[in-house]
Structure 1
Amino acid sequence: MQLWFPFVLGFDLLRIHSFKAVVHKQEYYTKSRASFYGSPDGYGVSRGACGFGEYGRMINSGSVAAVSGLWRNGAACGTCYQVRCKIAEYCDANGANVVVTDYGAGDRTDFIMSPRAFSQLGRNKAASEKLKKYGVLDIEYKRVPCRYSGNVLFHVQESSNNPGYFAVILLNVNGKYDVTAVELWQKERRQWEPLRRVYGAVFDFANPPTGELSLRFQITYPKGYTKWVYPKTPIPAYWKPGATYDTKLQLN
């Protein structure tokens, strides 16, 4: 299934493409525990703590997870992990690749997975049903690069109100980067001003300037190195709540 985005679109038009995780054998796994939550169709939930809405329910074909210790004040939102269990007769060797879309704490768990993600831990359907009966599993995990088709996107939160209040989320951030800051260029003051991280992946700015909005965002590499990234196009002056705008930029 292809990922397709017009320049402006609502989540009702969104077609989500699954990411492909790149696994490096030399990287170490961390031992932990995982459980799963209930949802009628096995997908994620649209009211997750990241603020992703319907995107968070359907991204990666619904193979998503809530995290606790990995939350990092919301910087975990949109990051990707490989999770696998170790019960030889039931567990698949590759396990599940999940996208973080929510916060959730359980019985010493680092991951509370959607039913679709948890089922992927099993070698087959019968094995997956056996694993579900455990409720909580010992697992091992490691972070893997996200691989999204298409450019990084700015989604304007539905709570926004042009021109009085602006809130935004970054989507489709490839690689193993955390989005740690977003700033807006104030033309009259000739300086960058920070947006506030409201919760999860949502950044906001009260009383934004009129006209086009030029944003930049900071990504943090796993070893702590940071870099500012500059989208190739601004958000147009006629921006609307619920709309998604293409940055014309891809991260490797």
Structure 2
Amino acid sequence: MVLFKNGAACGGCYEIKCWNDTQWCNPGNPSVFITATNLCPPNDALPNDNGGWCNIPREHFDMSQPTFSQIAFWRAGIVPVLYRRVPCHKDGGMRFTINGNPWFNLVLISNVGGVGDISAVSVKGSETGWIPMKRNWGQNWECDTGLVGQSLSFHVTTADGKNITSYDVAPLNWQFGQTFSGKQFY
């Protein structure tokens, strides 16, 4: 939660390398580039040192075995790392996955370039003005306005204050569960 900021840091990109552990780090200390996508849940029944690696205030990355194996021997489980924020290099446009129901819209925004994490989103239907969305969790953004049957445009602000507007991303006949592509931060 320390790095994840209760979901607000979702989408941020990091370079990570195993560090200062000759038993478990891969030779040459190679690095991996990851996008923050989830939370390693804390276990308050364990101490914050040996065993409670996801507990606050510890900074941590919970990586898949294939990714972890690029920097350390998979049997290590926990290794010391060096990390830094890096720009997110994404192919294609930002993706907008529309979920919800006729009275509630939940939009997952993914594949975000630049800093990767989003601080604000607004949606505009073809029959409405701009409607601010609120963060539901991570990069899921919601609004309680019925937008079915309208083309949708999105205005996205990233954590570093940059803005981009993608007009008419979803056509009039969009359906819940569909994903559409918009402009991209570079």
Q: TM-score, normalised by structure 1?
A: 0.60
1:213–1:186: structure 2 CA closer, same or farther, 3 Å change rule? closer
Work out the CA distance in 1 between the residues paired with 2:68 and 2:153: 40
Work out the CA distance in 2 between the residues paired with 1:152 and 1:250: 5
Q: Which residue type is aligned with residue 152 of structure 1?
A: M
1:116–1:151: structure 2 CA closer, same or farther, 3 Å change rule? same
Counting matched residue pairs gives 168
Q: Which runs of 5+ in 2 are unaligned?
A: 43-51
Partner secondary structure for residue 116 of structure 1: helix
Match of 2:89 among 144, 147, 163: 147
Q: Which residue type is aligned with residue 155 of structure 2?
A: R
Alignment map for 1:1-252 (pairs within 5 Å): 68-86=1-19, 87-88=21-22, 90-91=25-26, 92-104=28-40, 105=42, 106-107=52-53, 108-122=58-72, 128-129=73-74, 132-133=75-76, 135-157=77-99, 160-161=100-101, 163-185=102-124, 190=129, 192-210=130-148, 211-221=150-160, 226-247=161-182, 249-252=183-186
For the aligned residues, what is the CA RMSD?
2.1
Relative to its length, the structure with more helix (as a share) is 1
Partner secondary structure for residue 118 of structure 1: helix
Work out the CA distance in 1 between the residues paired with 2:32 and 2:163: 31
Q: Which residue type is aligned with residue 174 of structure 1?
A: G
CA shift for structure 1 position 72: 2.2
1:186–1:97: structure 2 CA closer, same or farther, 3 Å change rule? closer
CA shift for structure 1 position 209: 3.6
Q: Which residue type is aligned with residue 17 of structure 2?
A: R
CA shift for structure 1 position 186: 6.3
Partner secondary structure for residue 184 of structure 2: coil
Identity %: 29
CA shift for structure 1 position 177: 3.7
Work out the CA distance in 2 between the residues paired with 1:78 and 1:228: 16
1:188–1:232: structure 2 CA closer, same or farther, 3 Å change rule? closer
Q: Which runs of 5+ in 1 are unaligned?
A: 1-67, 123-127
1:180–1:205: structure 2 CA closer, same or farther, 3 Å change rule? same
Q: Which residue type is aligned with residue 206 of structure 1?
A: D
Partner secondary structure for residue 37 of structure 2: strand
1:212–1:186: structure 2 CA closer, same or farther, 3 Å change rule? closer
CA shift for structure 1 position 146: 1.6
Q: Which residue type is aligned with residue 100 of structure 1?
A: A
Moved over 3 A (4+): 186-190
Q: TM-score, normalised by structure 2?
A: 0.79
The answer to whether the 8 Å contact 1:97/1:117 transfers is: no
